[in-house]
Amino acid sequence: MARAGCRALFLGIESLAPGVRVGKHHAKDPGEIARAVDLLHEHGIFVHGNFIIGLPGETEDTVGQTLDGIARIGFDSVGGGPFYLTPGSTFDRIPHRFGIRILDPDWRVRQHINFYDPEHEYFATATLTQPRMKALAGEFRRQVEDARLACWNLSDYALLCWLSAGGTATALTSLWQAPDDQLTPAGQQVTGILKEKTDAAVPDDAASFVSVTRELARAAGTGQAGSEHPRGLPRSTGTGPGRPGARAHRRHRGHARGDGDLGVLQGRGAVPGRPRPGRDRPGQPGRIVHRLGGPAGTARR
Higher pLDDT, 30 or 278: 30
pLDDT over 70 percentage in the chain: 73
In this predicted structure, the answer to whether residue 31 has a pLDDT above a threshold of 70 is yes
Round the average pLDDT of the chain to a whole number and report it. Answer: 78
**Residue 21 reports pLDDT greater than 70:** yes
What's the pLDDT at 198?
84
What domains are there in the chain, each with its CATH number?
A: 8-152 (3.30.750), 156-238 (no CATH)
d(Cα 77, Cα 74) in Å, to the nearest integer?
9
- Quote the DSSP letter at residue 144: H
Average pLDDT over residues 92-105: 95
Q: What is the mean pLDDT of residues 254-267?
A: 26
Q: Give the span between the Cα atoms of 33 and 12, in whole angstroms.
A: 11
pLDDT at site 205: 81
Which residues lie below 8 Å from residue 34, measured CB to CB, with a gap of 6+?
72, 73, 74, 247, 250
What mean pLDDT comes out for the span 116-137? 95
Asked whether the CA dihedral 47, 42, 167, 244 is positive or negative, the reply is: positive
For the chain, how are helix, strand and coil distributed in percent, rounded to 5? 35, 15, 50
Query: In the structure, what pLDDT confidence band is assigned to residue 24 with cuts at 50, 70 and 90?
Result: confident
Residue 136 reports pLDDT greater than 50: yes
Q: How much is the average pLDDT of 40-69?
A: 96
CA–CA gap between residue 251 and residue 197 (Å, rounded): 40
Distance in angstroms (rounded) separating the CA atoms of residues 159 and 51: 19
The pLDDT, as a whole number, for residue 290 is 58
pLDDT digits (tens, 9 = 90+) for 237-250: 333 333 333 333 33
Asked if 141 contacts 51 with a C-beta cutoff of 8 angstroms, the reply is no
Is the pLDDT confidence value at 97 over 90? Answer: yes
Q: Residue 120's pLDDT is what? A: 92
Least reliable range by pLDDT among 6-15, 68-77, 168-177, 252-261:
252-261
What's this model's pTM, rounded to 2 decimal places? 0.75
